[in-house]
Amino acid sequence: MLNLNDAALFRQQCYIDGAWRDADGGGTQRVANPSTGAALGTTPRMGAAETRRAIAAAEAAWPAWRAKTAKERAAILRTWYELMLAHQEDLAALLTAEQGKPLAEARGEILYGASFIEWFAEEAKRIYGDTIPQPAAGRRLVVVKQPVGVVAAITPWNFPNAMITRKAGPALAAGCTVVVKPASQTPYSALALAELAARAGIPRGVFNVVTGAAGAIGGELTANPAVRKLSFTGSTEIGRELMAQSAATVKKISLELGGNAPFIVFDDADLDAAVAGAIASKYRNTGQTCVCTNRLLVQAGIYDEFARRLAEAVSGLKVADGFEPGSQQGPLIDEAAVAKVEAHIGDAVAKGARIVAGGKRHALGGTFFEPTVLADVTPEMAVAREETFGPVAPLFRFDTEEEAIRLANDTEFGLASYFYSRDIGRVWRVAEALEYGMVGINEGLISTEVAPFGGIKQSGLGREGSKYGIEEYLEVKYLCMGGIGA
């Protein structure tokens, strides 16, 4: 069981209108540790009725929350941030227990998640408008920005803390109120955030967490006209559905969806740096991030040496329960994730790829999997088109810069991309030619609260973090004042 310093952070009820609630019918859903399969506890299996009440609470809380000054909201958010830091160990333990990632990564996620609250506490005070030179005498034109209203946030299991704060931070800073539906596999991080929100002085109804039947909850969140904004992070498939469901009430929408990140290594790259970057980009969270490298495109002249060095480094990664000291690769989230990894490896090998590291379920059993490197991978293989979302690094070979760019862009996704080169001309040519929302240049880890995170094409809409992120939660209002005389 969990040994938290502050047991009150482990919550098995939903948080609605400032109170801890069970589902109307008392239904619950089991939450398990993906490493051991052991039950951690349950959370309420709520549906449309409870969600309606959460939305009503958020709507009722909105006028008072938006009426606070930016400085007042900033101070409360800052307190929430400081509480997250003070409880980092407990939040990290909850996260590793329910999601499986190594404790070191979970601690990092808590800091990353908290950084969005810190950042947007500051941004709250910088929501500026405009004055516009009047086009006609006697008028004055002004632009102001106002909060969009009640926000629905639906978040995935792979970053159960940071994907919530990356939405709630700007939303609350802008003066909006929020209803969160976390992933059913990882609800406890969200509920702990609600407990700390209450302690921080975030008023009842401003921040709500509902767990349960995704379709029913999502159906209410997307259909209820009181919800004016939907922010979703998860698969492209579900993102499309939610976008369609939101159309009837014309909601503002932000989507952070799937990816198929290329990682290009040119022959002028620093190979040690490229190997380190590939490890960081590919195997973080056991390959379960939307910005993980999904395809490695390696120039022919250095292909064999890069493959050798990468296979050697990957073979040294420690696969272990997230709580085991030194663990670098935790379990995959569930059996379906393992099945997808096995299917991608099987398809590639059947079509001529070679396994140069790993390649099968780990001896630990369960959903642990050997970190894997595949060589001689070609565009006909499933790994070229589908997001593996697991610890598999498929190596494709290319000859020319033009070929690398064509291969890299040959996907409906456009979230993150990476390349390694020390040629300044090539760096600018390739960075400008890649059709992605984000480009790592000689860097494998690029996510930060200060930069705009997001994709193009079918990887999503909008940006999270940075000065751009708060715009997603604001409406622009134009004031035209007449009758002012000469």
Ligand X SMILES: NC(=O)C1=CN([C@@H]2O[C@H](COP(=O)(O)OP(=O)(O)OC[C@H]3O[C@@H](n4cnc5c(N)ncnc54)[C@H](OP(=O)(O)O)[C@@H]3O)[C@@H](O)[C@H]2O)C=CC1
* Residues in contact with ligand LO4QSZO4 by the rule CB under 6 A: 156, 158-159, 162-163, 233, 289-291, 447, 453
Residue nearest to ligand X (CB): 218
Binds 396: which of ligand X, ligand LO4QSZO4, none (CB < 5-8 Å by kind): none
Binds 447: which of ligand LO4QSZO4, ligand X, none (CB < 5-8 Å by kind): ligand LO4QSZO4
Which residues touch 359 (CB under 8 Å, ≥6 apart)?
Answer: 345, 370, 372, 374
Q: How far apart are the first and last CA of the chain?
A: 75
- Interface characters, 288-317, with ligand X (x: CB under 6 A): --x---------------------------
Is residue 312 flagged as an active site residue?
Answer: no
To the nearest whole angstrom, how small is the minimum distance from the Cβ of residue 50 to ligand LO4QSZO4?
26
Answer yes or no whether residue 234 interacts with ligand X by CB under 6 A.
yes
Nearest Cα residue to 399 out of 276, 278, 297: 297
Contact (CB, 8 A) for 280 and 444: yes
To the nearest whole angstrom, how small is the minimum distance from the Cβ of residue 360 to ligand X?
23
Report d(CA 192, CA 84) in Å as an integer: 9
Contact (CB, 8 A) for 46 and 184: no
To the nearest whole angstrom, how small is the minimum distance from the Cβ of residue 289 to ligand LO4QSZO4?
3
Q: In the complex with ligand LO4QSZO4, which residue's Cβ is closer, 231 or 289?
A: 289
Report d(CA 432, CA 42) in Å as an integer: 48
Binds 331: which of ligand LO4QSZO4, ligand X, none (CB < 5-8 Å by kind): none
Binds 184: which of ligand X, ligand LO4QSZO4, none (CB < 5-8 Å by kind): ligand X
To the nearest whole angstrom, how small is the minimum distance from the Cβ of residue 109 to ligand LO4QSZO4?
7
Answer yes or no whether residue 230 interacts with ligand X by CB under 6 A.
no
Of these residues, 123, 195, 256, 449, which one is catalytic? 256
Q: In the complex with ligand LO4QSZO4, which residue's Cβ is closer, 80 or 453?
A: 453
To the nearest whole angstrom, how small is the minimum distance from the Cβ of residue 155 to ligand X?
6
Site for ligand X in 158-217 (CB under 6 A): 158, 181-185, 214-215
Answer yes or no whether residue 154 interacts with ligand X by CB under 6 A.
yes
Binding site for ligand X (CB under 6 A): 154-158, 181-185, 214-215, 218, 233-235, 238, 241-242, 256-259, 290, 387, 389, 415, 460
